[in-house]
Structure 1
Amino acid sequence: MGRRGDYKHFLPLQTRWADNDIYGHVNNVAYYGYFDTVVNEFLISQQVLDIHNGPVIGLVVETGCKYFAPLEFPQKLEGALRVAHIGNSSVRYELAIFKAGDDAPAAEGHFIHVYVDRDARKPVPLPQQFRKVLETILV
């Protein structure tokens, strides 16, 4: 299990009423929504991903998550992001969800995205500016 200092980018998050399941904690599927939010917010805010008109889009080809502590509504969270590997057309994003202020994550996970031509859906090399931005959070 990692710690807060192992990550490079943070995004404040808030649990939603709909995130809770019948057992009174955030359901496992909600974590993937948090992960998607953190990755895409970073890429969009860095102006390397245009979700509406960009020629390159990322497709998820692998995911995973480990859960360490329950979360519930209402709770303030922080999503954390780092890049573990940059390939020719793929990226391994590693993520964590922290209760706001905690040093140990409630969950850690990963996404592997393959970047493809929007229309042809065939892998393409990562654009140079995209790669430069990813290198800022590479560990």
Structure 2
Amino acid sequence: MDRSGFPHFLPITLRWKDNDVYGHVNNVEYYSFFDTVINDFLIRVGGLDIHGGAVIGLCVDSQCTFKASLEFPGVVDAGLRVSQLGNSSVRYDIGLFREGAEEPAATGRFVHVFVDREERRPVPIPERIREALEGITG
């Protein structure tokens, strides 16, 4: 999927520490980019209260396919869309693009289950978050 398949983007500035000894961004950082674009969206658009809210999202599944290397310095445009929206869970598709590139350097999926903060049992996705997620469903 190219850039046009993602309705939401977050530019993420690469840091010196993201590179490994091979001169490219280390694979573990890609998952950090996934977490960043998803949680930034949930907090800013969906109103998720990560510090005191009754509901939190837990990652239950994630996967990354590497297509091309990224390297410092630069900016990663992290694309996000929802591919499946359930009662208490959501599956995101993510694309990591070099700044201005049409084809992704990596693609991934990430599944959140929304749970009660205390009980850690699945709960329906809160309405404001659901509305935000519906806005990027593709």
What is the TM-score of this pair, normalised by structure 1? 0.97
Structure 1 residue 76 displacement after superposition: 1.5
2:67 equivalent in structure 1: 68
1:45 equivalent in structure 2: 44
Structure 1 residue 47 displacement after superposition: 4.0
SS of corresponding position for 1:137: coil
Asked if 1:135 corresponds to 2:96, the answer is: no
Per-residue CA deviation, residues 79-131 of structure 1 (Å, 9 max, x unaligned), is: 11000001110000110110000000000001101000001100001112211
Per-residue CA deviation, residues 34-93 of structure 1 (Å, 9 max, x unaligned), is: 111100111111142110011100000000000111111111221110000011100001
One-letter identity of the residue aligned with 1:38: V
Identity of aligned residues (%): 54
One-letter identity of the residue aligned with 1:70: S
Distance 1:36 1:133 in 2: 17
1:11 equivalent in structure 2: 10
SS of corresponding position for 1:38: helix
One-letter identity of the residue aligned with 2:29: A
Gaps of 5+ in 2: none
One-letter identity of the residue aligned with 2:121: K
One-letter identity of the residue aligned with 1:81: L
Per-residue CA deviation, residues 6-52 of structure 1 (Å, 9 max, x unaligned), is: 00100111111111111111011000001111001111111421100
Gaps of 5+ in 1: none
- What does residue range 108-127 of structure 1 map to in structure 2 within 5 Å? 108-127=107-126
One-letter identity of the residue aligned with 1:83: V
- What does residue range 88-107 of structure 1 map to in structure 2 within 5 Å? 88-107=87-106
1:31 equivalent in structure 2: 30
SS of corresponding position for 2:32: helix
Distance 1:20 1:86 in 2: 34
Distance 1:103 1:19 in 2: 22
Structure 1 residue 132 displacement after superposition: 1.1
What is the TM-score of this pair, normalised by structure 2? 0.97
Runs of at least 4 residues off by over 6 Å: none
The RMSD of aligned alpha carbons is 0.8
